[in-house]
Every structure is written in C-alpha cells, then in structure tokens.
Copies of this chain bind each other. A is one copy, B any other.
C-alpha cells in the first residue's frame, strides 16, 4: 500500500505539503498542489483513515446497537439512521444483540476500542452494567425508541400516550368491550407503557379494567395474535374491538377471523400498532398507530451528531405518531 511518503517522493515535495493538499489547506502553491494531486492519482494513493483517526481522536464512525436487525421495525430505524449518517458524513457500525446482554456489553467494549465518536443504543433497556460501561467510555450516547431511569439523551415515541389514543379512538367510535393483545409484560420498554396507555384510556372514560380482556403473548409476532384473540374471545365473546399492540399481531387476528368466519370490522374491530407497509394491504386495510421508524432513526443520528459536536440538545426528544384511519374499525355510533 502506498503511503504519503511515496506520494511526497514522486511529487518532489515534503510529506507536510502532501498532507496539506490532502486536507485542502489553501496555502499550497498551485504548482505544487498540481504535482501532488498528480502523484496521488498515478499511485492510486488513499490516505490511511486509521492514522488520521489516531491523531484526531475522531473516526467519523457511530456505533449502533439493535436487538435484531431483521425485524421490520429496526430495519426501518436503521435505514433512517443510515441516510442521515451518510448525509452528515458519518458511518455506522451496526450490531445486533439478539437480546443477549453480555453481547451488548462486549459490543460496547468494542465501540470503545474502535473509538467510535458516538453510540446509538436502541430499544433494549439499559441495565446497571451497561450504564457503567457507557459512562466509563465517555462517548456520547443517544437512546433510541427506549427510555431509561438513567440520565441519557433519548429519541422516542411516547408509547403510553399513543396507546391511550388508540384505545380512546375505539371508545370514541362507540366501543366499550375492548380487548388488548399485549407483548410480554416484563418488557418494560414496549409492552408495559402500552398496557398502561390502555388502562389510562379506560379510566379516562370511566370504564372498568377487566383482565379477561387482556392477553399477554411472548412476543409481537403473528402466532401470538392468533392464539391471543382466541383466548380472549373464549372468555369474553361479547368483545367488539381489539387493540393489537403490533401490526403483526393484528395480522394474526385477521387470520383467526378469516378461519372462523368472523367479519372485520362488522363483527370485530381491530386497531394495530406500528404502521408497517403491509398493513395497508390487509383485507380490510388496517387502522393502526403509525410510528415513524425511519424518522426516529434520522433524528437519533442527527441528535447524536449534535452531541458529538458538543452542541446543547434537549434530553428528551419525542417523535410524533399518528393514527392511520383505515377500514378495520366499525363506527358503532353511526348504527
């Protein structure tokens, strides 16, 4: 591999001059600059980013931790991150934890050794050990789509409020017997706030909370939606609407209803959560809460870069969500 010395030799200048040309410093005379540029071209020289990084203490690299990159949600978040990072001139090292906390710790360690300039920490709750590593590293961190009791910068959607809105939407359409298809209840980042939002909406409208209307699955996938709705309907056949806390679960409900001949929304109204692309193609199209994953990713990187540049930012950066009104909820008030 050619280095700056080879270029200098070929261009008959010192390495300092080559370096100056490389860094677009205008003080170099046009002739020398030309010589250098030509030598670079001829030798196919590429400056060594490691050496540069070593000197500047800056790598233009951001480390990203996601639980699982093959999930639609994270893939979209990462995509948003990618675009923003590219725009601002940063690169991403992306690591899937698969929910393994040890693995997260080892990734954080690696981020430290690789001297990334910032870390985007997605979705997984920050435990004591990781918080300790994070602070020891003293690298700027932004939490994405998650919250934490630790004082960390955060870009997120208020799931509790969004869920409350979803359920209130159903109530407003005249529904009173409303089911909830929840994820695992020990998932404090995602499931718990959604459950809380559900309860809050009921409370606001003076409706009683009835555990029979609630099913907690092990995850947010289709199968859990399918079995979940079955379980709820067995206990409470008078159900008129369900809030599925993921579009995939909602799809499971569709599948169940199709098999049993239950018509949506005539016999059962469904509202989802996520706003994945496919949801608009369900039959009927799914009414759902849209979380702008792409934008979350963008904002996360944007804020992180602000932090890296030591700009002052708000600790909490909420992202707007909206209800995508489609055709899966029946308006009982108009009947």
Given contacts A93-B93, A251-B281, contact A115 B48 (CB under 8 A): yes
A72 at the B interface (CB under 8 A): yes
Known A-B contacts A76-B70, A281-B251, A283-B258; A48 and B96 likewise in contact (beta carbons under 8 Å): no
**In the assembled complex, which residues on chain B have CB atoms less than 8 Å from the CB atom of A82?**
69, 94-96
B83 in contact with A78 (CB, 8 Å): no
Q: Which of A30-38, A106-114, A120-128 contacts B (4 or more CB under 8 A)?
A: A106-114
Within 8 A of B (CB), among A231-281: 248, 251-252, 254-255, 258-259, 277-278, 281
Which of chain B's residues have a CB closer than 8 A to the CB of A83? Answer: 96, 98
> Does the CB pair A113–B278 fall under 8 Å?
no
**Pairwise interchain contact A255-B278, C-beta atoms closer than 8 A:** no
- The answer for the CA separation of A258 and B233 in the assembled complex, in Å, is 25
Q: Which chain A residues (39-58) contact chain B, with CB distance < 8 Å? A: 44, 46-51, 53-54, 57
Beyond A54-B54, A222-B278, is A70–B59 a contact (Cβ under 8 Å)?
A: no
Whether B54 and A51, one on each chain, are in contact in the complex, defined by CB atoms closer than 8 angstroms, is yes
Cβ of A199 to closest chain B Cβ, rounded Å? 30
CB-based nearest B residue for A44: B136
CA distance in complex: A54, B136 (Å): 25
Besides A83-B98, A252-B281, 19 other A-B contacts (C-beta < 8 A): A44-B136, A47-B113, A49-B113, A61-B114, A69-B78, A70-B75, A70-B76, A70-B294, A71-B75, A72-B75, A75-B75, A82-B94, A91-B95, A92-B94, A248-B278, A251-B278, A254-B283, A255-B283, A259-B283
11 sample A-B contacts, Cβ–Cβ < 8 Å, listed by A number: A46-B109, A46-B137, A54-B54, A68-B79, A69-B69, A70-B79, A71-B75, A222-B278, A248-B278, A259-B283, A278-B278
